[in-house]
Amino acid sequence: MSQLICWLLVGLVHLVPALALFRPALITRLYGVAPESPVFLLMHHRAALFLAVLVACVWAAFDPGGRKVATLLAAISMLGFLFLYISYGRPASLGTIAIVDLIGLLPLAWAGWHAFQP
């Protein structure tokens, strides 16, 4: 049961950014990127990638066979962002996202540890 909850929590971390695929106005709200900016297209595509991570996490919640891959996908997403966030001097405008990812690492660590146990 704890793994189910952890996977759903990790999926929840990726839910709002994934919703930007269907509600592009969220891109401006979350990241401050104007719709007329060429970066907007990249951020819209990024939302599709977040949807893939979300789907992997929900799948892992119910299918133990997908948990190793989901662990790697979510870890790359979350740790990758945190590494870049720190590398770029911790921009204040992205602080909330960094905090959510940092908190999300706790359930990911628990679920990932179980995913790789024999």
pTM across the whole model = 0.90
**Number of domain units in the chain:** 1
At residue 1, the pLDDT reads 85
Instruction: Tell me how far CA of residue 52 lies from CA of 33, 62, 79, 93, in angstroms.
Output: 22, 16, 16, 25
pLDDT of the chain along its 118 residues, tens only? 899 999 999 999 999 999 999 999 999 998 889 999 999 999 999 999 999 999 999 999 999 999 999 999 999 999 999 999 999 999 998 999 999 999 999 999 999 999 999 8
Distance CA(109)–CA(87), nearest Å, equals 23
Instruction: State the residue range of the domain holding 37.
Output: 2-115
